[in-house]
Amino acid sequence: MEYMVLFFTHSGAIKFQRKCKKAAIPCELMPVPRVLSSNCSISAKIELSNNIDELIDSEIEKVFSFHKGNYELIYTAE
């Protein structure tokens, strides 16, 4: 499944990318799609067959699943 991960900070996105690289998870950093946020920020697009809950940490603001052109919010920080 594909996911779009949004972060509170750019440094959080960089840390997440490093974590994905160590775990051999494909991860591409990119601007946040406008349909997900009006903030000019950075996001990570990942493909993952496992449960994404294992990757969620305090740096992550939101996580969307992406399927057939549709985004679904599956996690938001409290």
Confidence (pLDDT) at 40: 60
SS3 68: coil
Q: What is the pLDDT of residues 15-59, one digit of tens each?
A: 999 999 999 999 999 998 887 875 668 899 999 988 899 899 999
Split at pLDDT 50, 70, 90, the class of 68 is: confident
Report the run of H or E that residue 15 belongs to, with start and end. Answer: helix 10-22
Residue 43 has a CB neighbour count (10 Å cut-off) of 24
- Sequence-distant (6+) residues with CB within 8 A of 54 are none
pTM above threshold 0.75: yes
Q: Which of 57, 53, 73 has the alpha carbon at shortest distance from 65?
A: 73
Give the pLDDT mean for 60-65: 94
Is residue 16 within 8 Å of 60, Cβ to Cβ?
Answer: yes
Q: How many structural domains does the chain have?
A: 1
